[in-house]
Amino acid sequence: MSFVHLHTHSEFSLLDGANRIGDLVLKAKEHEMPALALTDHGCMFGSWSFHKKATSEGLKPIIGMEAYVAPGDRRERSKSGVGGRAYYHLVLLARDRIGYQNLLKLSSLGYTEGFYHKPRVDRDVLARYQEGLIVSSACLAGEIARHLNADNWAAAKETAEWYANVFDGRYYLEVQAHDSEGQAETNKKIFTLADKLGLPVVATNDAHFLRPEDHEAHDVLLCIGLGKDRDDPKRMRYDEGLYFKSADEMASRFPDRPDVIENTLRIADEVDLLFEKKYHLPEFPLPDKYSDPNDYLEQLTIQGAKKRYGDPLPPEAQERLDYEIGVIKGTGYAGYFLITQDFIQWARNQNIPVGPGRGSAAGSLVAYALGITNLDPLKFGLLFERFLNPERISMPDIDIDFCYERRGEVIEYTRQKYGENAVGQIITFGTMKSRAVIRDVGRTLGFEPSETDHIAKLIPNQPGSAFTVQEAVENLKEVKSLYKSDNRHQQLFDYSITLEGLARHASVHAAGVVIAPGPLDDYVPVSVQPGKNGNGSNAMSVTQYDMNGLEEVGMLKMDFLGLKTLTVIHDAVEMVRERYGSLSNPDSEEVYDTVDDIPLDDRPVYEMLARGGTSGVFQFESNLANDKLRAMRCDRFEDLVATNALIRPGPLDSGMTDVYIDRKTGKTDVTYPHPDLENILESTHGVIVYQEQLMRIASELAGFTLGEADVLRKAVGKKISSLIKKELKKFVDRCVERGVNKLIAIELGTQIETFGRYGFNRSHSAAYSLISYHTAWLKVHYPSEFMAALLSSSIDNTDSVVKYIGACRDLPRYVPGLKEPIEVLPPNLNESGWKFTVTENGQIRFGLGAVRGVGQAAVHSVLEARSKGNFSSLFGFLERIDIRSLNKRACEALIAAGAMDEFGGRAQLLESLDTAYGEVQARQSEIASGQGSLFGDTSSLPQAEPPLREVPEWTEQDRLAREKEALGFFISGHPLDHYRDIVEAFEPVSSNTLVERPGQSVDLPCVVTAVARQISRRNNSEWGKITVEDFHGTATILAFGENWEAYKDVLQQDAVVLLSGKVSGRERDEDDPPVF
């Protein structure tokens, strides 16, 4: 006899189910089951991927959900259920398309209206959306089981009859085939109730894990979700029988009731739900005189193109536009372009910075004409077919960069335009990756956090070289040794191997937005996730399907990305205009409306980059990019475009990058695979750098249409071997037909396969290089404004601020014509704003927002009071602001940071703060209670200011230490300042270059900022973990054995030292400082 599992949990029953969807499907197939249901807790997160996987394996997918049902009204936050519970469980299965639509509604309503501990529905919405659903009474947590086990047969009868009436002929009582406490007795009661009421019964197993041997790992997963230790005797546990049983195992548990097995097949037979991919595009609201989006798109495109190129249009532009418009009309995507240009135009009108383009969309002339992109595809040789291929039609994908501070406004505009219930953001799932799963599992097994942190960091996790836990155990000597050391470590690794990669939590995709033709939950299930909404709410409407699922469903999804660099450029330009009146080239005095008008041939820009001055330059800050730009003697925009494409693992590993540099600098001759390719490869010195070049080669030599060439490009880039073989044969045959020697054609095919797989999207590289150029131009011509904007963008990242302050000192080394470094001044209550600003003399003034503990409300109060006149004393300052927004601790930080230096010595101010603060607090309370708030006006009343107390000023060392505590770094000086001459004699390295020197022995002059004494678990010996800082950032120093014993008395906080050691080659988290 066969059987179908109708109550099954995947990893998307987050931290409760341990089944991967693919494994469930394959296990059902292995057991020769005809169908399988997925019923995750309260959600449909995995439904679409489950449907796709099951269908591909020839298994009938049954989409379902184990719902949470409120005992009363779903909107009431109460626990009125049996035993004081807030919800019961209920299994819902979609029988057909109507049932699926109703399941979407119910799943969504659980989040949007019924969330209380869990996403809950109630009888009201179950009755409203009952059509097309098959229902079973669920597990021991179901309402029927709760009533029966409380011996309330009347309530159980009422509940069963209500469901049986609402879901006429589609309601089943459920028995389960495991040995959880009370399950056997509950099964007997359910059979009795079913007999009394004449209701059918169905058998399930509530499968939470795949095999019996997975029970222990699942138990650990449960502990991770509950935040409990595994040895906690009071925690929840699942029976070891909740695995994916075979049909025979299920039948053996109910030998006298074959009907409960047969009913699973009956239900599966009833289900008739298969999906066809269909696009669900919203309609763009057209102006009154237009009825066809194609006509309106064409009109807007021609208007925009004439603004770009003039009237009449150049023949090349007209021909390209006619072609692109024809393809867009033929594919039905006119509305997509209209929607995109609309919110981008709105953003520009609101002075929200928008990027010049991203990805392959920069290859579309229509997008350029509409203002969606700002890079001329004709000028830069970009291809439309790389974006929208008429030979293989798929939904276009336009990703847009916005100012990271105002991105939410654009999303909110879109939400208001198309309907709040039609626009949502997109879910994403954090998974238990190698290091994370080690830490999670270790915590439940009782490992110390420092111990699991050490073990986790033994596993490389950098892109391109990341190891799974399994791979680390098999291949890394130190990990393998730990695994074999004792049972405790073996368990840690074994459980981690089993659980690695499972979904851990849901969150909001950083950029994704979906727009539906109507209410979003008509098309996909919706959830609510925490996050800042554009309308100020702390809850975000988010799809339950991720990006891939939405694409499969046919939804319009877009990436609204927040790019800090756009904000940096915008802020720098605003400061330039405020200081000088306009944006212009200081050398030529040519005035520009925007940075987009700046010519791309500014020689000083390339001189700076060729010298290595890339700090703060978008995309090129890394030491690798810096080295390559210097090596190639960067002197033109095309070098930036090529470098953006070449500083990636594929080109670097294959040697393409070095070939390009050697040819560019004349070390080796430039050669071409075929004479006819010179016009295609000349700009890259004969090297196939871009995917578009591959496409042009196929077009030029083999006569491929650009659409056919894109198919070849995709095959090579995605390394689809069967398709590569087919397309390369086609390429060679076509070349030969067009008179190319067969051996040359074969060699060309080999080169296309070799270099093409590493080729990069030129459209994206060119668009992002334009942003890079704009940052470099501002750095060269307006260094103070650019560095101030850059520092403001890093205001919450101490290491970045330290790095950019160091870059301000180093500017004369790189920027042509700049004689003196730019001084960064401490914050000042009478001059500073929230962000960093530029003084009249070109110095940079610290922003108050960089002072720890000083929030936006406090700074707003300071600026509002200062608008009526500068502050002249500590007491006068406190008296004029609302001190409810600026607590005493924040005042102490402002004093320590130097923001009140003009009021007196820092020691005096700090010593006098208690008295002044208390006096002002009392006066403001008195005024508020008697007359309401008069903040800002009390200066008109005669007040006696308490004098500052006379105390000795802090030493330099004390002043710098307090600055660091207040700001996270030194500002008025540096402990190393007195040793600059000595330091330079040693030719030391700086902390920000350590990461590029794994395994090297180096000297590092630094100041000790923190010391932690540690005890080794291995031999109880003491060792030291020391945090140090130099002019450029921080590093972590580990000292063991004799070294630690010899120098631990020297390595004290605030000590200035010259350290010699070896840089660790071990992988580190991206945000961790380098170790030596």
Task: Answer yes or no: is 987 within a domain.
Answer: yes
Task: Answer yes or no: is 1 within a domain.
Answer: no
Task: Using the 3D structure, point to which of 967, 988, 1021 is the last residue of a domain.
Answer: 967
User: Residue 987: how many CB atoms within 10 A of its CB?
Assistant: 7
pLDDT tens profile 58-112: 999 999 999 999 999 999 988 888 888 999 999 999 999 999 999 999 999 999 9
- Residue with the larger pLDDT of the pair 592 and 974: 592
The whole-angstrom separation of Cα 280 and Cα 517 is 6
Percentage of the residues of the chain whose pLDDT score is greater than 70: 96
Question: Residues 253-278: what's their mean pLDDT?
Answer: 94
Exposure pattern of 647-664 as b/e (b: 16+ CB <10 Å)? beebbbeeebbbbbbbbb
pLDDT tens profile 440-454: 999 999 999 888 998
The tokens for 865 are 């009071």
The whole-angstrom separation of Cα 1 and Cα 252 is 11
Cis peptide upstream of residue 604 (ω within 30 degrees of 0): no
Helix, strand, or coil here: 543?
strand
What CATH number has the domain bearing residue 992? 2.40.50
Domain shared by 927 and 1009, yes or no? no
Judge residue 481's burial from the number of C-beta atoms within 10 Å of its C-beta, 0-12 exposed, 13-18 middle, 19 or more buried.
exposed
Question: Residues 832-860: what's their mean pLDDT?
Answer: 92
Task: Using the 3D structure, point to which of 498, 530, 564 is the last residue of a domain.
Answer: 564
Task: Answer yes or no: is 464 within a domain.
Answer: no
Complete DSSP assignment for 588-649: T--EESSGGGS-S--HHHHHHHHHT--TT-TT--SHHHHHHHHHTT--SHHHHHHHHHHSSH
Domain shared by 991 and 860, yes or no? no
Helix, strand, or coil here: 739?
coil
Give every CB contact of residue 195 below 8 A, 6+ residues apart in sequence: none
- Residue with the larger pLDDT of the pair 830 and 993: 830
The whole-angstrom separation of Cα 126 and Cα 103 is 10
Task: Answer yes or no: is 358 within a domain.
Answer: yes
- Residue with the larger pLDDT of the pair 995 and 1035: 1035
Domain shared by 531 and 676, yes or no? no
Does position 1 have pLDDT exceeding 90, yes or no? Answer: no
Does position 163 have pLDDT exceeding 60, yes or no? Answer: yes
- Residue with the larger pLDDT of the pair 33 and 1004: 33
pLDDT tens profile 617-653: 999 998 889 999 999 999 999 999 999 999 988 888 8
pLDDT tens profile 744-789: 999 889 888 887 778 899 999 999 999 999 999 999 999 999 999 9
Domain shared by 900 and 989, yes or no? no
Does position 936 have pLDDT exceeding 70, yes or no? Answer: no
Domain shared by 956 and 987, yes or no? no
Percentage of the residues of the chain whose pLDDT score is greater than 90: 70
Question: Residues 796-806: what's their mean pLDDT?
Answer: 86
Q: Is this model's pTM higher than 0.85 or not?
A: yes
Alpha-carbon distances of 1 from 54, 211, 526, rounded to whole Å: 21, 21, 39
Task: Answer yes or no: is 1076 within a domain.
Answer: no
Alpha-carbon distances of 717 from 381, 397, 649, 735, 827, rounded to whole Å: 20, 18, 14, 21, 51
CA angle 1059, 1065, 1070 (to 5 degrees): 95
Residue 202 sits in which domain range? 21-207+244-270
Does position 926 have pLDDT exceeding 80, yes or no? Answer: no
Domain shared by 601 and 634, yes or no? yes
Quickly state the pLDDT bin for 942 (edges 50, 70, 90).
low
Quickly state the pLDDT bin for 715 (edges 50, 70, 90).
confident
Does position 264 have pLDDT exceeding 80, yes or no? Answer: yes
Domain shared by 984 and 1028, yes or no? yes
Instruction: Report the DSSP pairing between strands 503-515 and 526-530.
Output: unpaired
pLDDT tens profile 870-904: 999 999 999 888 888 888 899 999 999 999 999 99
Does position 1071 have pLDDT exceeding 50, yes or no? Answer: no
Domain count, the chain: 5
Give every CB contact of residue 896 below 8 A, 6+ residues apart in sequence: 906, 910, 962, 963, 965, 966
Handedness of CA 35, 38, 44, 49 (dihedral sign): negative
Does position 613 have pLDDT exceeding 60, yes or no? Answer: yes
Complete DSSP assignment for 674-737: SGGGHHHHGGGTT---BHHHHHHHHHHHH---HHHHHHHHHHHHTT-HHHHHHHHHHHHHHHHH
767: closest CA among 630, 618, 660?
618
- 8 A C-beta contact, residue 235 and residue 226: yes
Task: Answer yes or no: is 1003 within a domain.
Answer: yes
Question: Residues 534-553: what's their mean pLDDT?
Answer: 81
Task: Answer yes or no: is 1053 within a domain.
Answer: yes
Task: Using the 3D structure, point to which of 925, 944, 967 is the last residue of a domain.
Answer: 967
pLDDT given for residue 1067 in this prediction: 53
Separate counts of helices (H) and strands (E) for the chain:
42, 22
Cα-only R_g, the chain: 34
Domain shared by 1017 and 999, yes or no? yes
pLDDT given for residue 1070 in this prediction: 46
772: closest CA among 622, 917, 986, 981?
622
Domain shared by 630 and 752, yes or no? yes
- Residue with the larger pLDDT of the pair 1064 and 210: 210
Quickly state the pLDDT bin for 530 (edges 50, 70, 90).
confident
Stated as kind and residue range, the H or E segment containing 1035 is strand 1034-1039
The tokens for 871 are 């502050």
Complete DSSP assignment for 461-483: -STTT---HHHHHHH-HHHHHHH
Question: Residues 715-725: what's their mean pLDDT?
Answer: 84
Amino acid identity at 335: G
pLDDT tens profile 427-485: 999 999 999 999 999 999 999 988 899 899 889 887 767 899 999 999 988 899 999 99
pLDDT tens profile 361-416: 999 999 999 999 999 999 999 999 889 888 877 788 899 999 999 999 999 999 99
Most confident of the ranges 167-171, 279-283, 1021-1025: 167-171
User: Residue 779: how many CB atoms within 10 A of its CB?
Assistant: 27
Domain shared by 547 and 679, yes or no? no
Quickly state the pLDDT bin for 1025 (edges 50, 70, 90).
confident
Question: Residues 342-351: what's their mean pLDDT?
Answer: 97
The whole-angstrom separation of Cα 896 and Cα 889 is 11
pLDDT, averaged across the chain: 91
Task: Answer yes or no: is 453 within a domain.
Answer: no
Domain shared by 827 and 763, yes or no? no
- Residue with the larger pLDDT of the pair 1030 and 328: 328
Amino acid identity at 814: Y
Domain shared by 266 and 299, yes or no? no
The whole-angstrom separation of Cα 329 and Cα 600 is 35
